[in-house]
Amino acid sequence: MMTEAVVELDDELWQSVYEITAGAMNPCYQCGTCTASCPFLSYLDRPLSARKILRRAQLGRGDGMEDIWMCSACRSCEVRCPRDVHIVEAIMGLRSLAFKARAVPPEMNRLLWSTLEEGNPWNDPRSERARWADGLKVRDAAEGVDVLLYVGCAGSYDPRLQGVARGLVQVLGRAGVNVGILGGRERCCGDAVRVTGERGYLQRLVEKNVKAFSGTGATTIVAISPHCFDMFRNLYPRYGLEAEVLHYTEYLEHMLDEGVLKPPRVKNSRVAYHDPCYLGRSNGIFEPPRRLLESVPGLELEELRDNRLNALCCGGGGGGMWREEGGERLSDKRVEQVKEADIPLLATSCPYCIQNFEDSTRRMGGPRVVDVMELLARPKAV
Amino acid sequence: MENRVVVIGGGIAGIEASLDLADAGCRVTLVERTPSIGGKMAALDKNFPTLDCSICIEAPKISEIIQNENIEVLPLSEVAGIGGRAGEFTVTIDQRARYVGDECTRCDDCVPVCPQILPNEFDVGVGARKAIYTPFEQAEPGAYTIDIEACLNEPPNYLPCDRCVVACLPKCIDFNMKPATRHVREAAAVIITTGFDLFDPRNLPEYGYGEHPDVLTSMEFERLLNASGPTAGELVKPSDGAHPHRLLFVLCVGSRDQRFCHYCSRVCCMYSIKEAVQAVDHGIEDVTVLYMDIRAYGKGFDDFFHRTQEEGVQYIRGRPSWIQGNDGGVRVRYEDTVAGSVREENFDMVVLAPALLPSRGMGNLASVLGVEVDADGFIRTVGADGSLERTTRDGIYVAGCASGPKDIPDSVAEASGAAASALSYIETRSWPVPEAVEPIDVSGDPRVGVFVCNCGSNIAGTVNVPEVVESGRGLDGVAHSQQQMFSCSANTLRQITETIREEKLTRIVVAACSPKTHGPSFMKACGRAGLNPYLLEMANIRNQDSWVHKKEPEAATEKAKDLVRMAVEKARRLQPLAKVRQKVVRGALVVGGGVAGMSAAAALADQGLETHLVERELQLGGIVRRLDHVSGIDLSAQEVLREKRRQVAQAGVRVHLGTEVEVVSGFVGNFHVTLTDGESLNVGGIVMATGATPFVPETLGYGKDARVITNLELEESIPDMEAEKVTFLGCIGSRQGDKGCSRYCCQSMIQQALRLRKAGKRVRVVSRDIRTYSRHAEELYEEAARWGVQFFRISDEEITEEQVAWEDGRLLLHDTLSDEDVAIPSDKLVLVVGLDPPAAGAVEEQLKLAVGQDGFLLESHPKLGPMEAAVQGVYLAGSCQGPKDVGESISQGLGAACKASVLLARDEVEMEPLTAIVDAEACTGCTLCAKVCPYSAIIAPLKEPAVVVNAACTGCGTCAAACPVDAITMPGFTDEQILAQIDAATEENPEEKAVVFACNWCSYAGADMAGIAKFQYPPSSRIIRTMCSGRVSEKFILRAFERAAGAVMISGCHLGDCHYLTANYETEKRFRRWKKKVEARGYDPQKLELGWFTASEGKLFAERMRQLHAQIQELEAAGAEAEVAGGGE
């Protein structure tokens, strides 16, 4: 039975895997629920097997780990895991190990350099960062504000997404909220750095951001992207961030409850809501965006078949936005589902989801893709 | 002080505890929340691994509860408060009204008129019931009840409905009953046996339960399988009523799951395996079980698991990620973790195995009783002595699933253990004297009463019962013939008793199921009427007729008529017999001084019985002496032993160290024992607690390489272990060949692994399925994994050197999870060894205790009698009956003590009056009888009349068959009676029939088993039961041939398995002689057959019956041809 290819257990390597993942893979009893839950399963010739990744980690193996770069950190596996294994944490740990071994896909290296040099992973010029707010009346947070609005890299640079931040500034301003932005001094939140497995620079970046945020005196930080939000809420407190962190849909829900948000009527339409992975599965925020949509006169919210914990993934998380791949994408499946349900409008609340879905609809047609924010306020033209 | 115990919960654990207590002379109040006792076991279709019909083996116990004068049953009741302390509790019990009085005749007229339709809880909602209903037909006490919440008579509806009141002829429905009654009972102790409830799979929305009708729970599936369930046993899809073709079982639904229950629910693997094989038996071609570890830990479980694989059940290691409806079917996605591939498949039906939860309201009950529950909500068990029955409050004990998930044998063992503990508070014992009934004079012409049972649809679904009743009525001597729905239910038994007196019946025939299971119930019914109970004969028209000839209702009906005729003919010739009363010596011998023996001895001596504990070694403690820590109960081994030694000393047990039993003789109530220390003892009962022997490995370098040690050796050296890299290898000497799982090892291995890991070692565990089934063991497994113990899974086959090799400090194996060959560098290789049966000693050999295939002592019934040997007066405790861990052994030790104390509590024991009687005048002194007696129980000097030593005779009848002058009579199985049965069997169309003689213990039981498993065969056989095949005499054979029987078969236990030692060797010798004799008489010797069966070989029995039938037809055809040919000449 024994073949020549016997794997010799390497205690040292095992120890380093154990330490870098904090033993996240240990409790796994290899039932395979994760593998069978992975959204990549339906599209790729070579499915991503979370179970096998965890198994190799359990054995203390550093080799044969190419699959770890495919994971979009959507946590579809984690929410069904009977052993409460922090699978994404384990995979990110393994990426760190790979990073140390210089076994990182080239696109990951590129985004790191870009973040280091320009403060964003898209290699857009640092000087252009605040352009989205041109002509908009908004305070510089350095003046001292209650609420710091963190726009994020995609929201700052992508012209398609800039309206979201603009709309939000207007709605908050109208309600009399003392809100400000960092403008050109805003830097990447670090999510993109984290998914490369790099750790030293990430720590420095986070520390710098915490210092910048704290300097504004803001007691609340509102993030537009669920990816930034996830970093601020779950990682930053470990580096001393004390302000309350909210996703903008949570903040607006409070405003709705207080009667200070009155969404304007829109043309009658059915709308579907797509739960972004980092907002829903990762942070349990399912209801605020739905409540916002339901508050818009003229909209009729319909649930997609796979919603909330079972929502599909657009493929953008975990570094997916930078991965170079051809052929069918995860976002296509979601768009397909909306098309089948014949719903003309697909709302979500994550810039990556919007970019990916629009990428799909450009190729395959389908619903108009919007951010929830875009249905709550009509931004003034620049 | 009141000599009463309150038992809370009327499932099988509560029933067992109540019966043990009552039989030991203690009064019992059995409190049950629902309308009837029986619990979950009553709802199950079959039990694993025996495939016994669940209610069939529970119903006699339910009837016993109802009939036992020492037991008061309070249904619809809950404990509301408790005061006082151990030995003198005051228990307050609130009882809800039933609204149906005792005059209810169970006519069912009230049910159709009730307008309220509700889901039937007993069918777990698969079936429907009305507001007035009976949960199941055999429900006791009192079948019918009104769900007042749902009843239209209950306010706020002020318009009385009263339809049931109008329909009820005996006028027993009374809405003016007080809605609640408060009872107060003084009790010395309390036993909690509240069982379990099931996890609601709706908590796992991805599994689609509650959304798709064809996703069921195992309990719902169980009801679908059940002949008395909502579909009468037909397996159909709830969605459309069609038969499913592809079936999937999903294990661990809510169990072993961080989000819900961390623990393993222990029973799901086995019952799912059972349900899967039942599905195969129902003709479903494609049955798959998705599992992670198959936990077939109990006696015979692995064997059963492998049999189901052979029968075509597929096992795939994996767990679904989702289950959802899809075009009428159910779509499931999972990863086959052995093949490493994800599958998405359609099934017709999916059965989920939900976690076992503490029964609803457990927290409330616990706080009322002042006992603690654990983190999972089960009753917390404590006890420095490792007892699993002790709660956090003195005098309150727990048994069964109330303290954690458990199967029936373990629940029953704990129930007896809890009863033994409770008995230590009981100072006076009493047994209500049965009401004196005027005995019925049976001297005149026999007046036979025939009672034909429908058994719901079990019999009536195949056999035309009214026709059988009518045919019975026409037989000679029959004075009364009637049908009954369930003859064994308590009210029907009362009906039999009443009818006997009213109709002045002097012989009784019950045509129902097997006398082996239900004979005692009907004998008691006779006794209560004043009729000698030995005037009862049963016709087995269920196990040996309706169940095995389902497709031939007409022939089955004819066979039933024949069986009734045979029974009536025998009954007319029955004579009253009196039980032999034997003095009981009020002392006990416990053989083996490990924890099981120490627990048993202390419990017996605590009850004031003179108890001797014999231990071969110079110290008490057995294997536990070699342990440092006891896993599971999580105690220091030395502390447990210290506590046990204290208990043994305090109770006044006479301990004989360095001693063995040398000679043992005698029988129940009076054994004579000589010990090797020269002492002679007289005891009434013997508890065997001889333990088990750790397997000694001969492979993987053990004994040659100092780095290779066993887990027991590790235990001795664990505190100062120097090795850095320690690798464990499980299942060494377990789960191989006839050996099953050794139960204790996975948990103990993981405990050791975790301990070493915490000490900073590199620890690896290599195993097949991980079987951490017992309480908190799964949590231990998880903790070990979190701490970084590495687990490797090898294929689930017997471990060979091919699979796992030890080379230069490296363990080489194939890890199925990564599908790679792995080398584990190890400073120490720990072989985790199984338990072998102990070497047989004097008691086993001299009392001829039966041994199972695995070499361990055989219990009287694997489900309900795990602590009793087949030899009366001998009890089994601990690992000598099968491997067990420390807690389980202690529990079984207490249980065995309880069973023994039931015997020893009384002055006398009654024995069956089946011993041989020699007619001294007819005897010629030929001594043939003495030569064939396996027990040397006949003293026969040449030319002088033989004398039977009653105490030694076991009633096999081998002597009677040998007597050339018919001078020996076997009571209950006389020549006259058996010849009359043969004549009755061959009255019509004899050439189409086979007369089959079957021994009580194996072949008759095997025939019953064929019925239980529904193995179909042609209805040509007519079975005549004798105690042993040795009873069959030449004249029976010749008579059958004279009567032109198509075939004759003599059957018995396999050679070597005979319950009368060597009697069947005599049968075999005789058979060869008879073959020649038959031929000499001009009959075809091919028509004479011999068959050996064990009690479990139902399939083989059915197979032989099919062959016999084919042969009859062949020979008949050949005969007819010969006749035609002859006619032409």
pLDDT in tens, B791-836: 999 998 888 888 899 998 999 999 999 999 999 999 999 999 999 9
Same domain, residue pair B815 and B901: no
User: Which of B563-567, B716-720, B770-774, B888-892 comes out lowest in average pLDDT?
Assistant: B716-720
Task: Residue A23: list chain B partners with CB under 8 A.
Answer: 786, 788
Which tokens hold the place of A188?
């990447």
To which residue do tokens 């004899």 refer? Answer: B990
Same domain, residue pair B512 and B540: yes
Task: Please name the fold of domain A106-256.
Answer: Rossmann fold (3.40.50)
Pairwise CA distance, residues B171 & B571, whole Å: 38
| A-interface mutation test, from B818, B824, B827, most A Cβ less than 10 A away | B818
Using the 3D structure, point to which of B555, B575, B595 is the last residue of a domain.
B575
Sequence ranges of the domains in chain A: 11-100, 106-256, 263-376
Regions of chain A short of the pLDDT cut 70:
1-4, 42-47, 325-327, 378-382
Q: What is the CA radius of gyration of chain B?
A: 30
Is residue B966 in a domain?
no
Record: contact A83-B258, CB cut-off 8 A: yes
Q: Which domain holds residue B615?
A: 584-692+837-910
Record: contact B802-A1, CB cut-off 8 A: yes
Same domain, residue pair B824 and B754: yes
Which tokens hold the place of B410?
């373990």
Task: Residue A8: list chain B partners with CB under 8 A.
Answer: 810, 823, 825
User: What homologous superfamily is domain A11-100 in, according to CATH?
Assistant: Alpha-helical ferredoxin (1.10.1060.10)
Task: Residue A5: list chain B partners with CB under 8 A.
Answer: 820-821
Pairwise CA distance, residues B906 & B547, whole Å: 41
User: What homologous superfamily is domain A263-376 in, according to CATH?
Assistant: AF0625-like (3.40.50.10700)
pLDDT at residue B1128 above 60?
no
What residues does A223 pair with on adjacent strands? A150, A247
- Give the pLDDT score at B232: 75
Is residue B273 in a domain?
yes
Q: Is the peptide bond before B837 cis (omega within 30 degrees of 0)?
A: no
Q: Give the CATH number of the domain where residue B520 resides.
A: 3.40.50
Task: Residue A310: list chain B partners with CB under 8 A.
Answer: 205-206, 322
CA distances to B193, B392, B534, B698, B740 from B378, in Å = 11, 12, 47, 43, 29
What residues does B686 pair with on adjacent strands? B589, B874
Same domain, residue pair B699 and B801: yes
Of A212, A247, A210, which is closest to residue A228 (Cα–Cα)? A247
Is residue B965 in a domain?
no
Percent of chain B with pLDDT over 70: 99
What's the whole-number mean pLDDT along residues B1019-1028? 96
Same domain, residue pair B220 and B186: no
Of B985, B988, B1019, which is closest to residue B552 (Cα–Cα)? B1019
Q: What is the CA radius of gyration of chain A?
A: 21
Of the partner residues B206, B318, B821, the one whose CB lies closest to the CB of residue A5: B821
Pairwise CA distance, residues A92 & A95, whole Å: 5
CA dihedral A259, A263, A265, A271 (to 10 degrees): -120
Same domain, residue pair B680 and B698: no
Q: What are the pLDDT digits (tens) for A269-318?
A: 999 999 999 999 999 999 999 999 999 999 999 999 889 999 999 999 99
Same domain, residue pair B663 and B746: no
Which tokens hold the place of B1?
């002080």
Task: Residue B824: list chain A partners with CB under 8 A.
Answer: 9
Using the 3D structure, point to which of B402, B436, B470 is the last residue of a domain.
B436
User: Which of B307-321, B772-786, B938-952 comes out lowest in average pLDDT?
Assistant: B938-952
Q: Give the CATH number of the domain where residue B775 resides.
A: 3.50.50.60
Is residue B117 in a domain?
yes
Note whether B803 contacts A: Cβ–Cβ < 8 A.
yes
CA A381 distance to own-chain centroid: 28
One-letter-per-residue 3-state SS of B961-1013? HHCCCCCEECCCCCHHHHHHHHHHHCCCCHHHCEEEEEECCCHHHHHHHHHHC
Is residue B1020 in a domain?
yes
Q: Residues 272 to 301 of B: which have CB under 8 A from any A CB?
A: 292
Of B464, B532, B518, B465, which is closest to residue B490 (Cα–Cα)? B518
Record: contact B782-A56, CB cut-off 8 A: no
Fold: same for A11-100 and A263-376: no
List all residues 6 or more positions away from B1007 whose beta carbon is below 8 Å from its beta carbon: B543, B544, B996, B998, B1023, B1093, B1098, B1101
Number of helices (H) and strands (E) in chain B: give both, helices first: 27, 58
Pairwise CA distance, residues B689 & B667, whole Å: 19
Query: From the CA of B96, how many Å to the nearest CA of chain A?
Result: 41
Record: contact B256-A51, CB cut-off 8 A: no
Q: Which residue of B has its CA nearest to A5?
A: B821
- Give the pLDDT score at B406: 95
Using the 3D structure, point to which of B575, B592, B623 is the last residue of a domain.
B575
Same domain, residue pair B571 and B588: no
In this prediction the ipTM stands at: 0.92
Note whether A2 contacts B: Cβ–Cβ < 8 A.
yes
pLDDT at residue B645 above 60?
yes
Contacts 24+ apart (CB under 8 A), B127-132: B127/B223, B127/B229, B127/B230, B128/B230, B132/B100, B132/B164, B132/B173
pLDDT band at B573 (very low <50, low <70, confident <90, very high): very high
CA distances to B13, B26, B878 from B412, in Å = 5, 18, 14
Percent of chain B with pLDDT over 90: 74
Cβ proximity of B915 and B973 under 8 Å: no
Q: Residues 255 to 274 of B: which have CB under 8 A from any A CB?
A: 256-259
Q: Residues 185 to 224 of A: which have CB under 8 A from any B CB?
A: none
Q: What are the pLDDT digits (tens) for B369-401?
A: 999 999 999 999 987 777 889 999 999 999 999
Record: contact A55-B818, CB cut-off 8 A: yes
Is residue B1010 in a domain?
yes
Number of domains in chain B: 7
Same domain, residue pair B406 and B294: no
Query: From the CA of A198, how many Å to the nearest CA of chain B?
Result: 25
Q: What are the pLDDT digits (tens) for B909-958?
A: 888 899 999 999 999 999 999 999 988 889 899 999 999 988 778 899 99
- Give the pLDDT score at B1058: 80
Note whether A28 contacts B: Cβ–Cβ < 8 A.
yes
Task: Residue B257: list chain A partners with CB under 8 A.
Answer: 82-83
Same domain, residue pair B602 and B745: no
Kindly report the average pLDDT of chain B as a whole number: 92
Q: What are the pLDDT digits (tens) for B872-909?
A: 899 999 999 999 999 999 999 999 999 999 999 999 98
Which tokens hold the place of B271?
């019952």
- Cα-Cα-Cα-Cα dihedral sign, residues B1004, B1008, B1014, B1018: positive
pLDDT at residue B139 above 90?
no
What's the whole-number mean pLDDT along residues B430-452? 91
Same domain, residue pair B977 and B1121: yes
- State which amino acid sits at residue B261: C
Q: Which residue of B has its CA nearest to A39?
A: B321
Record: contact A41-B762, CB cut-off 8 A: no
Which tokens hold the place of B648?
């043994």
What's the whole-number mean pLDDT along residues B1024-1041? 96
To which residue do tokens 């007196």 refer? Answer: B501
Which tokens hold the place of B1005?
């039981």
Is residue B939 in a domain?
no
Pairwise CA distance, residues A208 & A244, whole Å: 18
Of A293, A284, A288, A279, which is closest to residue A253 (Cα–Cα)? A288
- Give the pLDDT score at B56: 74
Is residue B943 in a domain?
no
Q: Residues 183 to 222 of B: which have CB under 8 A from any A CB?
A: 205-206
Same domain, residue pair B751 and B700: yes
Query: From the CA of A36, how many Å to the nearest CA of chain B?
Result: 5
Contacts 24+ apart (CB under 8 A), B371-380: B371/B192, B371/B396, B371/B398, B376/B261, B376/B262, B376/B263, B376/B404, B378/B402, B378/B403, B378/B404, B378/B775, B379/B192, B379/B403
